[in-house]
């Protein structure tokens, strides 16, 4: 390590565990003793095939994925799947004239999912979201379509800091589709009623380039005829995710991250640490006499992305906060450009000690201003 120690609170691409970085550095030039680097290894080689299969196996074991699901390694990010989901699932709508799907909009990412899905399926928003987003409204007012092919939700809204404490209820026979891009393997996932669980790797699982879709087997094979090969779950499954060149280096990094999870108490260990980190930071916000504020309904507060305001949204104070935090070695705390303020992303690889450093800084900053 060169330079001064810093803490990465970035929303994504985000912090990668220290030991993973070290191993990747070593193997960059010499993978498994082959004498060639991992990024220059053929995706058709026995070495890579072994890597891909063992990564998949680790996924199944660490996330406790039931045996009637397939793990697919795809391209295009969460955003690619905003199109991939309706393209693959529209045939499951009971309305054959105009296939439809239900969407729960709780923030920026589910909103973007709707904009993309509309091109390929009729979208029914189960409620009209209020802005600014502060959490989902009372469930009794939801207008669900019994003909829907699926019910879509974003398990953790990265920009707005809203996380479902548990999956929403769906109508019988309507599978859930969850975007878990920003809370993948952050606690045990209950697969009940889920058809697809998807996300990009660059927040909780490694580097950008790899997108994972965990798809229930009975939903594979009815994609719209126009579906591009790289978005077709059937095509990808048939080719063991090597329909074209997969993002080999990202898969490699994710394998190391999954091994790191295994060695550090598995998903349950992570869940415990993630809760402790979030509790620490929310307490600092809530016990600041309003100097710091977060207006998300407590039950729906994200454990991963914690947005807050300083001085009720005072632009000068917030700019000073970012500036002084950066000088103290805490990076990437600026809120998303659409909402402003501060956002601390405390994904799996961020430690409790690092959150404590931030909380101590917040107390000092408050005393000073
Ligand atoms: C980051 C993010 C996305 C988009 O991911 P890309 O890989 O950039 O397409 C989608 N959904 C959520 C919840 C995200 O946090």
Cβ of 181 closer than 6 Å to ligand 1, yes or no, is yes
Count helices and strands (H / E) in the chain: 9, 14
Q: Give the per-residue pLDDT at 2.
A: 47
> Which residue segment(s) compose the domain that 323 sits in?
265-368
In a domain, 217, yes or no: yes
Which of 82, 114, 182 for mutating ligand 1's site (highest number of atoms within 8 Å of CB)? Answer: 182
The reported pLDDT for the residue numbered 248 is: 97
**DSSP H helical ranges for 95-247:** 108-117, 233-238
Q: What are phi and psi of 283, to 5 degrees?
A: -65, -40
**Cα–Cα distance list, 361 to 228, 267, 321 (Å):** 49, 29, 9
Query: Looking at the 3D structure of the chain, how many domains does it have?
Result: 2
Task: Give the pLDDT confidence score for residue 141 in this predicted structure.
Answer: 86
**Residue 154 structure tokens:** 């974003």
Q: Are residues 331 and 356 in the same domain?
A: yes
Q: Residues in the chain with pLDDT < 70? A: 1-4
Q: Same structural domain for residues 152 and 45?
A: yes
Q: Cite the active site residues.
A: 109, 179, 203
112-125 tens-digit pLDDT: 999 999 999 999 99
31 part of a folded domain:
yes
CA 367 – ligand 1 centroid, Å:
36
CATH number at 198 reads 3.40.640.10
For residues 34 and 140, membership in a common domain is answered with yes
pLDDT at position 3, please?
55
- Judge if pTM exceeds 0.85: yes
Q: Is the CB of 77 under 6 A from ligand 1?
A: yes
CA nearest neighbour of 224 among 83, 93, 89: 89
DSSP string covering 289-320, please? TTSEE--S-GGGB-SSEEEEEETTT-HHHHHH
pLDDT at 1: 44
């Amino acid at each position: 390590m060169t330079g001064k120690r810093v803490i990465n609170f970035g929303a994504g691409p985000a912090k990668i565990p220290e030991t993973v970085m070290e191993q990747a550095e070593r193997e960059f030039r010499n993978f498994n003793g082959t004498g060639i680097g991992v990024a220059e290894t053929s995706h058709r080689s026995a070495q890579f095939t072994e890597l891909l299969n063992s990564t998949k196996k680790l996924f199944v074991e660490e996330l406790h994925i039931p045996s009637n699901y397939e793990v697919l390694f795809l391209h295009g990010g969460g955003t690619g799947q905003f199109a991939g989901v309706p393209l693959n699932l529209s045939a499951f709508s009971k309305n054959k004239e105009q296939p439809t799907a239900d969407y729960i909009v709780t923030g920026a990412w589910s909103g973007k999912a709707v904009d993309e899905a509309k091109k390929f399926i009729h979208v029914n928003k189960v409620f009209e979201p209020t802005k600014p987003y502060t959490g989902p409204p009372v469930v009794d007012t939801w207008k669900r379509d019994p003909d829907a092919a699926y019910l879509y939700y974003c398990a953790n809204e990265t920009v707005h800091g809203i996380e479902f404490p548990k999956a929403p209820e769906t109508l019988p026979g309507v599978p859930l589709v969850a975007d878990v891009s920003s809370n993948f393997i952050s606690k045990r996932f209950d697969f009940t009623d889920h058809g697809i669980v998807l996300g990009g790797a660059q927040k909780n699982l490694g580097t950008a380039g790899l997108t994972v879709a965990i798809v229930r087997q009975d939903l594979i094979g009815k994609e719209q005829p126009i579906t591009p090969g790289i978005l077709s779950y059937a095509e990808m499954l048939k080719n063991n995710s090597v329909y074209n060149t997969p993002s080999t280096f990202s898969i490699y990094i994710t394998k190391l991250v999954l091994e790191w999870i295994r060695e550090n108490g598995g998903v349950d260990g992570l869940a415990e640490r993630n809760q402790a980190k979030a509790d620490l930071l929310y307490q600092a916000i809530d016990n600041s006499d309003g100097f710091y504020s977060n207006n998300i309904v407590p039950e729906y507060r994200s454990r991963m992305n914690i947005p807050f305001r300083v001085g009720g949204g005072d632009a000068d104070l917030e700019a000073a906060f970012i500036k002084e935090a950066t000088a103290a070695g805490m990076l990437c705390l600026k809120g998303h450009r659409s909402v402003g303020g501060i956002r601390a992303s405390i994904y799996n690889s961020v430690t409790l000690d690092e959150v404590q450093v931030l909380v101590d800084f917040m107390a000092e900053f408050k005393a000073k201003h």
